[in-house]
Amino acid sequence: MRIGVFICKCGTNIAATVDTEAVARKALEYPDVVYATDYMYTCSEPGQDEIQQAIEEHDLQGVVVAACSPRMHEVTFRRAVEKAGLNRYMFEQANIREHCSWISKDTEANTRKAIDLVRMSVEKLRFNHPLFSSQVPINKRVLVIGGGISGIQAALDCAEGGLDVVMVERESTIGGKMAKLDKTFPTIDCSACILGPKMVDVAQHENIHLYAYSEIESVSGYMGNFKVDIRKKATYVDWDACTGCGLCTEKCPAKKSFDGFNEGLDTTTAINISFPQAIPKRAKIDPKYCWYLTKEKCKICQKICPVDAIRFDMKDETVVEEVGAIIVATGFDLVDHSVYGEYGGGHYPDVITGLQFERLVSASGPYEGHIIRPSDGKEPKNIVFIACVGSRDPSIGRPYCSGICCMYIAKQAILARDHIPDSNCYVFYIDIRAPGKNYEEFVRRAQEDYGVQYIRGRVGKIYPQGEHLIVQGIDTLLGIQVEVEADLVVLATGVAASVGAKELAEKLRISYDEYGFYMESHPKLRPVETNTAGVFLAGVCQGPKDIPASVAQGSAAAAKTQILFSRDTIETDPQIAKVNERMCIGCGKCIDVCPFGSIQWKTLRDGSQKAEVLDTVCQGCGLCNATCPPKAIQLQHCTDDQILAEIEVLCAGERHG
């Protein structure tokens, strides 16, 4: 190999404490080095020109640049050598600035170090091979997991952009948490009125295929070519036939079924449609409550159904969809407030969650919009809201702020004052967090225009007394004990990761934090990407956020998908693991350890099993390489031979003194 070495002075950044000329002179003694020089700014245009000229004049086959960190300019120099006709991987960069000239003022020692660093790079380069990316076609369909507002936004944006969208929703209707809300802060918009049309758009858009009441069974493949098994849970109703007329729900005798949509405030029928605006508007049978499925008698729905859609023998069914990208928008669930024994541990019927209050006050809720107490149906006069229940509380392992509760209880207090003008509303809070647009003003309105009484302090205890609930707390501003005789207590229940979030993350091979929220690729600069290429995040599954932020992230995820799909093929990074089949002993240890599932079995004609790397899935971490006993799997561009060569040349060098 004919190698050229270029030592950058970086103005005085390097030259002030490294004798670059001496380094270049020394480099000429190394094996295969045919040209070496130093230059003022190697990364500048004339600097790059010089490299390119030298490649031509000296017929160089590899280039070492000793300059700043490769994290800074590796891409720049690779491009430069590529322009001169070399393969871009026939390049190595020695870091003699951040790791050398900038961290010591001892010119002699720095020069010796720079000499070593260049020597190592030359030695590594001698084992480099040209590497080539391959092109893999992209399947331009996208899977959206979760049909809440964020998933809806992502799906609609993708579909409008011409992409085929597959949406999977675990409940029988899309809409998510927003569908349960009465109004939204800070505009007091009717939630159903702004969400409803979007849900209808999803149902009617020709590019969107919706799998409701379905879950992700498994995911395989890689960016551009995922294969997803979707389990359609048995609804016991043929949805192709069902028209959503609702006759069955009127006649069903099993009227004590749990009503999840109304947060358990009401009961429903065993065969039911979640709510009138459900999308898809189809009936499903809850097998836990259906008389026929539990006791083998009844079948009334089957008799009454005008289109003969009831299928008691229906089983779960798995369908396979192939997509090129995945948007995860699985949302959240509420923190289980029963851990708070001091607030009744879930045993007082008139201590309710924020979401239950939404159903209470909603015109489509069980009480048709009349705020009444779940226990006796009376109208409450004194309503207490308690902030930070399950948020900012390290004692239950949830130190984070849920971000939305301060705002939603302000809204709920306003709604309560609107509905019951002679009511008193109290809010116990720690701090008010209202950083959004018009948010602070909104909270002020609650306090000033609606007369909601804000008390800064925690509630220590709630206990029933007669018809009332006594709320004991502290007003830390006045430094006094406070006791409120409440008729209704609303806990501003915080945000928890969605049930099953971790299991889904394992299937998708994306990371999650200790609370189960999905990890973005970079907290600031890559907030929508995950560390698994082709999987994007939207909404609260990534961390607590409000509706505008969820919608924005949904659109962002759609944009990322569109960017990915704007090309017809993906260029793979060739710095990945590669198996030498002749040496592979088929022990499967690489397959076991690979964090990305990028290695699979391959059966040769003689029946022997070998490992095989999926080029587009491998991320190039090299864990397999370190694990492989015979080192049959090698990380390209960082092979054992390259690392060993660097070690050997260092150890063989004379120690200077």
Q: How far is the CB of 68 from other proteins (least distance, A)?
A: 9
Q: How far is the CB of 66 from other proteins (least distance, A)?
A: 13
Smaller CB distance to other proteins: residue 377 or 607?
607
Give the H/E segment covering residue 144: strand 141-145
Identity of the residue, 488 or 505, whose beta carbon is nearer to other proteins in the bound complex? 505
Which residue, 17 or 214, has its beta carbon nearer to other proteins?
17
Task: For residue 633, give both structure tokens.
Answer: 């799997």
Nearer to other proteins (CB atom), residue 466 or residue 657? 657
Compare residues 198 and 509 and give the one whose CB is closer to other proteins: 509
Residue with tokens 């659109």: 555
Task: Tell the smallest beta-carbon distance from residue 657 to other proteins (Å).
Answer: 4
Instruction: Classify residue 607 by its DSSP letter.
Output: S
Work out the number of other CB atoms within 10 angstroms of the CB of residue 366.
19
CB of 623 to other proteins, least distance (A): 4
* Nearest approach, Cβ of residue 312 and other proteins (Å): 41
Smaller CB separation from other proteins, 37 or 110: 110
Q: Which of 3, 44, 42 is nearest to 20 (CA)?
A: 42
Residue ranges in 214-370 assigned as alpha helix (H): 247-251, 291-295, 300-304, 354-361
Q: Which long-range contacts (CB under 8 A, 24 or more apart) does 78-87 make?
A: 80/48, 80/51, 80/52, 81/51, 81/52, 81/55, 83/52, 84/51, 84/52, 84/55, 84/56, 85/55, 86/55, 86/60, 86/61, 86/62, 87/130, 87/131, 87/132
> 3 with 122: CB under 8 angstroms?
yes
Can you tell me the distance from the alpha carbon of 105 to that of 249, in angstroms, rounded to the nearest whole number?
Answer: 82
3-class DSSP assignment, residue 549: helix
- Alpha helices, H only, 325-469: 354-361, 405-419, 439-448
- Residue 630 C-beta: closest distance to other proteins, Å: 3
CB of 103: closest distance to other proteins in angstroms?
4
**Of 566 and 600, which CB lies nearer to other proteins in the complex structure?**
600
Q: Which amino acid is at 420?
A: I
Smallest separation, CB 506 to other proteins (Å): 11
Minimum CB distance to other proteins smaller for 360 or for 528: 528
**Nearest approach, Cβ of 608 to other proteins (angstroms)?**
7
- CB nearer to other proteins: pick between 184 and 634: 634
Q: What whole-number distance in Å separates Cα of residue 445 and Cα of residue 454?
A: 12
Candidates 288, 281, 252; CA nearest to 269 is 252
